[in-house]
Structure 1
Amino acid sequence: MCLLAIGWLRHPRWRLVMAGNRDEFHARPTRTLGRWDDTPAVIGGRDLRSGGGWAGIGPEGRVAVVTNVRDPQAIQAGPSRGALVADYLRGSATAPAHADRLAEAASAYAPFNLLLADRDTLAYLANHPDERRDLPPGVHGMSNGALDAPWPKTERLTSALHRWLACGNDDLSPLWEALADEHRPADSALPDTGIGLERERWLSAAFIRGDDYGTRASTVFLVDHDGHGHAWERRWGPQGRAVGQEHVAF
């Protein structure tokens, strides 16, 4: 993922609500949202280059989501960050136990943020700098910077999720609209991640259009307290052209 908002223990029915966009090169081979052929208990999109994923759901409604961190000075080498999602969803350890164990090897990866949820805990792990903590109930936002960093697009998406949670119904239209938001903030509100002003402007919207790179998938997860729920994915091609959608109930 490159942008997401998560509502944790803030809805009368849904234990976890996630809305997010994956931005990626359009030429990178990807499998659409569905059950993984080699692990049918796991639901999510699949990166066919490395075999991992960016967001997924496992047995009992366990959820994992990873974002890359934008840092041109960092070494962009090491194991695939998509494996961080796959390894947790394929395993059986609790979210805190898995995050604690992974923290010992986190420095081997390029910079990342990782959220792991089980029935009881939403665990956060990052390696830029090293940070590991369990998150309280509430709404949390994440893009290609630190957790809950006040980037305009992150704040706009978390605000939309706050409003959706307050409504208490299951109409997803407001969340899809927030994920399709192409608002670009004033230059003074942009983060400085070392990529130059023009690219900061281009990447400042929740939904990114481009010929070679842009938003490729918009995803919504709903998970109830018994581990049941729904996963939706809307897919996009170059310049934001709609190319399909999927829904999996679990």
Structure 2
Amino acid sequence: MCLIVVGWRSHPDFPLVVAANRDEFHARPSAPAGRWPDAPTVIGGRDLEAGGTWLGIADDGRFAAVTNVREPGMPPGERSRGALTRDFLLGDAAAMSYAQQLDGDSYAGFNLLLGDADSLVYASNRDGAPRLLPPGIYGLSNHRLDTPWPKLVQARTAFASALPALPDEAPLFELLADRRIVPDPALPATGVTIEWERLLSAVFVRSENYGTRASTVAWRTRDGRVRLHERSFGPSGEVVQSSLISTSE
């Protein structure tokens, strides 16, 4: 997962709203969003290589999403970062309690958003202690929360403009589909080649081997209903599957 924008208690009828793109190698096997056979109250995609998930939401309103920290040359962790989200969604610990007991040394660099009925928590093994987030709009890519990379700034701005249109989700999917490449002078310097910096600077990443595999819009309503809509993409950026799941199903 390489871009997540979250509105936490920023809309009177939708206390949690999420728009996210998952970027990954196209060769990595994944299952599209759906109810998990081993845990039917959980909705999300599954990484079929390590068994975790990049983003999920549960019928009780629990939410979790993870991104990696871009650290070229760093060794992989002992555990897959997808286990962070999976284990939270399958458990019953409060978001802050779960975040505080994590062994960050077991994972490569990660950013984690955890939500329960009462709170939204940001945790990272590269950014100090977990913290409760006050109401607001937050953006997360492959660095610390709200790092002002151009694509994150433009996504947050578009997200704020899209919130009043809810439950119309079209503006949220539109912002996730933005394929504009950032001009070189504005590119962040993250340790990868200039070619990769250009490619990864777009909200929607497209290349033959690596790119945006899924765009997801999810929310929880004021009365506790949840909904997740995922669009899956092939290497050329074409939609190959659309999955819509809610608590009414």
TM range (shorter): over 0.9
**2:148 aligns to what SS in structure 1?**
coil
2:69 counterpart of 1:54: no
**1:60 aligns to what SS in structure 2?**
coil
Question: What residue in structure 2 maps to residue 138 of structure 1?
Answer: 136
- Alpha-carbon distance in structure 1 between the residues aligned to 2:223 and 2:71: 39
| Distance apart, 1:100 and its partner CA | 0.9
- Aligned residue among 150, 154, 157 for 1:152: 150
**1:74 aligns to what SS in structure 2?**
coil
**1:188 aligns to what SS in structure 2?**
helix
- Aligned residue among 105, 118, 121 for 2:119: 121
- Alpha-carbon distance in structure 2 between the residues aligned to 1:111 and 1:211: 26
Tell me if the contact between 2:78 and 2:106 (Cα under 8 Å) persists in the aligned partners: yes
* One-letter amino acid matched to 2:200: L
Equivalences for residues 74-223 of structure 1 within 5 A: 74-102=74-102, 105-165=103-163, 167-223=164-220
- Structure 1 unaligned segments of length 5 or more: list them: none
Tell me if the contact between 1:29 and 1:48 (Cα under 8 Å) persists in the aligned partners: yes
| Distance apart, 1:16 and its partner CA | 0.3
Tell me if the contact between 1:60 and 1:226 (Cα under 8 Å) persists in the aligned partners: no
> Deviation digits for residues 181-210 of structure 1, max 9, x if unmatched?
011122121111100211100110011111
- Alpha-carbon distance in structure 2 between the residues aligned to 1:245 and 1:191: 32
Tell me if the contact between 1:26 and 1:216 (Cα under 8 Å) persists in the aligned partners: yes
Q: TM-score, normalised by structure 1?
A: 0.96
> Deviation digits for residues 50-106 of structure 1, max 9, x if unmatched?
11000001241110000011011432232010000000000001111111111xx11
What stretches of structure 1 move > 6 A for 4+ residues in a row? none
> Deviation digits for residues 149-183 of structure 1, max 9, x if unmatched?
00111111111111112x25311111111000011
Question: What residue in structure 1 maps to residue 35 of structure 2?
Answer: 35
Question: What residue in structure 1 maps to residue 226 of structure 2?
Answer: 229
Q: Which moved more, 1:123-132 or 1:192-201?
A: 123-132
Tell me if the contact between 1:114 and 1:125 (Cα under 8 Å) persists in the aligned partners: yes
| Distance apart, 1:227 and its partner CA | 2.6
Tell me if the contact between 1:11 and 1:168 (Cα under 8 Å) persists in the aligned partners: no
Tell me if the contact between 1:119 and 1:225 (Cα under 8 Å) persists in the aligned partners: no
2:239 counterpart of 1:242: yes
Q: CA RMSD of the aligned region, Å?
A: 1.1
Aligned length: 247
> Deviation digits for residues 1-31 of structure 1, max 9, x if unmatched?
1101000001111110000100111111111
* One-letter amino acid matched to 2:232: R
- Alpha-carbon distance in structure 2 between the residues aligned to 1:204 and 1:78: 29
Question: What residue in structure 2 maps to residue 3 of structure 1?
Answer: 3
> Deviation digits for residues 121-170 of structure 1, max 9, x if unmatched?
101100114331111100000001111000111111111111112x2531
- Alpha-carbon distance in structure 2 between the residues aligned to 1:145 and 1:74: 14
- Structure 2 unaligned segments of length 5 or more: list them: none
- Alpha-carbon distance in structure 1 between the residues aligned to 2:35 and 2:147: 32
> Deviation digits for residues 192-242 of structure 1, max 9, x if unmatched?
110021110011001111111111100000111333121000010011121
